[in-house]
Chains A and B, each alone.
Chain A
Amino acid sequence: MKKTGSQILLECLALEGVETVFGYPGGTVINIYDDLMDSPIHHILTRHEQAAVHAADAYSRVTGKVGVAIATSGPGATNTITGIATAYMDSIPMVIITGQVPTPLIGNDAFQEADMVGITRPITKHNYLVRDVKDLARIVKEAFYIARSGRPGPVLVDLPKDVQMATAVFEYPETVELRGYKPTTAANPRQLEKAVDMILQARKPVIYVGGGATLSDVSEDLKAFAEAIQAPLTTTLMGMASFPKQHPLSVGMLGMHGTFYANMAVTNADLLIALGARFDDRVTGKIATFAPHAKIIHVDVDPTSIKKNVRVDLPVVGVLPDVLPRLVEGLQSQPERLAEAVEATQGWRDQVEEWKQQHPMAYKKTKSTIKPQYVIEKLRELSDDDAIVTTEVGQHQMWTAQFFDFTQPRTFVTSGGLGTMGFGLPAALGAQAAFPKRQVIDVSGDGSFQMNSQELATLVQYRLPVKIVILNNNFLGMVRQWQQLFFDKRYSQTCLELPIDFIKLAEAYGAKGFQATKPEEVEDVIRQGFATPGPVIMEFKIAREENVLPMVPAGAGLNEMVLAS
């Protein structure tokens, strides 16, 4: 029996194990939405296409599955761009389906036409324009395979309306044949041998872990590796939740707003073992003074990440679930040398511990004003262990990274690479849709929150009990901080002068709101917020000119940290 393109699409999604999709209907996807009524796939209607993509992105970040979003052609499709670019920069596996005008109209500047394959080429791992319904099942199969394999990423499938209406015999291919796409999985054994040797010879080793560890779920392997060689371990923002900060070997996050001791460790290391990280400029600071004494081993699934920004002494192309156990095995096959190396690095661990004592992560508490760091600490204290935290982008994001001690992988959802304000609320929506019973918290600033606050409606409609924390300083705080430090306090366009009544805003959407203006109210508001069913806004009026510290000024070396205002 023949099926229509839109039916084929939905059957393919079901066969790929898709349970929930996020989207927004429109003229060129009306057929898909009609067939969706007869499909077991659950659809969540966001209030903006950008939010649908962020939600699907976060759904993927917390579950490890491929996230799926649907949007109509033209403006619907172009609204997905920020979402797609966000997922691309953080290597999130997604499939985005956009409607397209009928094939005979393509190129005619038809109503709601946009060249999506052209527009998204630099921000997708791959993309497709489906011109014939007979290719549709194969293309969807390939899209999912490409999205989740190798270094994951978003794949866009642009589906013209006439292709959705055309019919074909549905047959889902069992395998994918792509002669130009064969991602490496197993690392070269000789490179691993060399890595083991370099590790055993190192006297000041540091492990540097990125988002690759989060994406490949290697928390246990990572722990085994770090403990085997007893090396201090630092993570990027994206790698953070894959290794608990409470672990004695953890030195927290490195980079621009990293800890003093992580940056000192990297600057003084003689061996840097990079695992699924890409030496982003926010991590390295000035390249010339980044890890100047260290040999670098770089393990990554994507060969283009290696030697892109920094020199690398030993490249290892492969995936961490393969590489880490093999490294541990290689090290343990030489027990004497390993014991000797662990002993010889004791002085190094002592040194790192001394740096930790010298400048621990800290802030000045005050009685009169709420310190944002205090709110984050209290949030950690009062939330569940497996609570998922999403953030927007700015100061609140960095305070969350610095002061919320994540203990479980895939519990921290944040836009690292693109730095997308407005990400956190729809991301929390997607995470809550994936885990309706877990606590989901969006930590936000008053600026970022307003970039996608319309999603309060979606939360209320679908009874998604997201707890929104707004650290309100009436500023675009991170830019203000830069203006304070580097532009002589000239606060150009960073003061959000109109005070918003966030409590009334919550109520307007049918949610609840609480506010704290003094430090002693913080705990009560958090308790109340968590105890209240349904979506809740907890607003904290925080110290207006609090800064995120330490800070490595843009273009400076990691050892040139500003430690206090």
Chain B
Amino acid sequence: MKHTITVLVENEFGVLPRVSGLFSGRGFNIESLCVAPTLDPTISRMTIVTCGDDQILEQITKQLNKLVNVIKVIDFTDQPFVQREMAMIKISAEAETRAEILRIVDIFRAKVVDVTPRSYSVEVTGAPEKIDAMIELLRPLGVKELVRSGPIVLGRGAKAWKSAE
């Protein structure tokens, strides 16, 4: 089963390999990983999508918590959250497909960010399933290149995760 974990870490040199090394060293899977500093510049926030059964997930959270540079681990599996991912897609755009691509872009509220006589580059944000769906529709039209950011998440409601509290 897929799980999304948010990890607040010290924004320090060498923290990323500690986290990624833990996953590879213990045979855990990383589907995606996003990192950037938070409002507090001494803390970075990682969003990791991983998969495994309950026992594996429990080990992952415990092992992450054990790292000295990890301040907080939040597993969003059992609580409501908003999830967003961004993708940028380069599509071949010949005369006969240009209009169809734009229609799809419109339906998914995506945006064309670069145009040439033979291609469109579009940007789309949304839940990962929405991006999957858009890619499926564009695939027959000739996707040349795809880059996905991996999802980031935010818990629903007024409560905020900022540091160790």
User: With A and B bound together, what is the CA distance between A118 and B16 in angstroms?
Assistant: 11
Contact: A179 with B58, CB < 8 Å? no
What residue of chain A has the Cβ atom nearest to residue B64's Cβ? A304
Residues of B within 8 A of A121 (CB): 17-18, 21
Residues of A within 8 A of B66 (CB): 302-304
Say yes or no: is A247 at the interface (Cβ < 8 Å to chain B). Answer: no
> How many CB-defined contacts (below 8 Å) exist between A and B?
38
User: With A and B bound together, what is the CA distance between A303 and B164 in angstroms?
Assistant: 18
Interface centre among A118, A125, A180 (most CB of B within 10 A): A180
User: With A and B bound together, what is the CA distance between A338 and B136 in angstroms?
Assistant: 67
* Given the contacts A121-B21, A129-B14, A178 and B59 also touching, CB distance less than 8 Å: no
Proximity bits, B16-44, A CB within 8 Å = 1, else 0: 01100100010000000000000000000
Proximity bits, A94-123, B CB within 8 Å = 1, else 0: 000000000000000000000001100110
What residue of chain A has the Cβ atom nearest to residue B10's Cβ? A180
Residues 32-83 (chain B) with a chain A CB within 8 angstroms: 55, 58-59, 62-63, 65-71
User: With A and B bound together, what is the CA distance between A302 and B25 in angstroms?
Assistant: 18
* Given the contacts A302-B66, A304-B63, A304-B66, A179 and B71 also touching, CB distance less than 8 Å: yes
Residues of B within 8 A of A180 (CB): 9-10, 67-71, 164
Say yes or no: is B149 at the interface (Cβ < 8 Å to chain A). Answer: no
Contact: A307 with B55, CB < 8 Å? yes
Proximity bits, B86-99, A CB within 8 Å = 1, else 0: 00000000000000
User: With A and B bound together, what is the CA distance between A125 and B18 in angstroms?
Assistant: 11
Contact: B68 with A308, CB < 8 Å? no
The one of A122, A146, A303 in contact with B21, judged by C-beta atoms closer than 8 angstroms, is A122
Say yes or no: is A486 at the interface (Cβ < 8 Å to chain B). Answer: no
Residues of A within 8 A of B59 (CB): 304, 307-308
Interface size class on chain A is 10 to 19
The one of A126, A302, A304, A307 in contact with B68, judged by C-beta atoms closer than 8 angstroms, is A126
What residue of chain B has the Cβ atom nearest to residue A178's Cβ? B68
User: With A and B bound together, what is the CA distance between A180 and B44 in angstroms?
Assistant: 13
CB distance from B45 to the nearest CB of A (A): 14
* Given the contacts A179-B164, A304-B59, A118 and B17 also touching, CB distance less than 8 Å: yes
Residues of B within 8 A of A302 (CB): 66
CB distance from B96 to the nearest CB of A (A): 52
The one of A129, A178, A179, A303 in contact with B163, judged by C-beta atoms closer than 8 angstroms, is A179
User: With A and B bound together, what is the CA distance between A258 and B25 in angstroms?
Assistant: 30
- Name the 6 nearest CB pairs between A and B, nearest first: A304-B62, A126-B68, A180-B71, A181-B68, A303-B62, A179-B164
Binding site for B on A (CB under 8 A): 117-118, 121-122, 125-126, 129, 131, 146, 178-181, 302-304, 307-308
Inter-chain pairs besides A180-B10, A180-B67, A303-B66, 5 sampled, C-beta below 8 Å: A179-B163, A303-B65, A304-B62, A307-B55, A307-B58
Provide 24 A-B residue pairs closer than 8 Å at the C-beta atoms, listed in order of the A residue: A118-B17, A121-B18, A121-B21, A122-B21, A122-B25, A126-B68, A129-B13, A179-B71, A179-B164, A180-B10, A180-B68, A180-B69, A180-B70, A180-B164, A181-B68, A302-B66, A303-B62, A303-B66, A304-B63, A304-B66, A307-B55, A307-B58, A307-B59, A308-B59
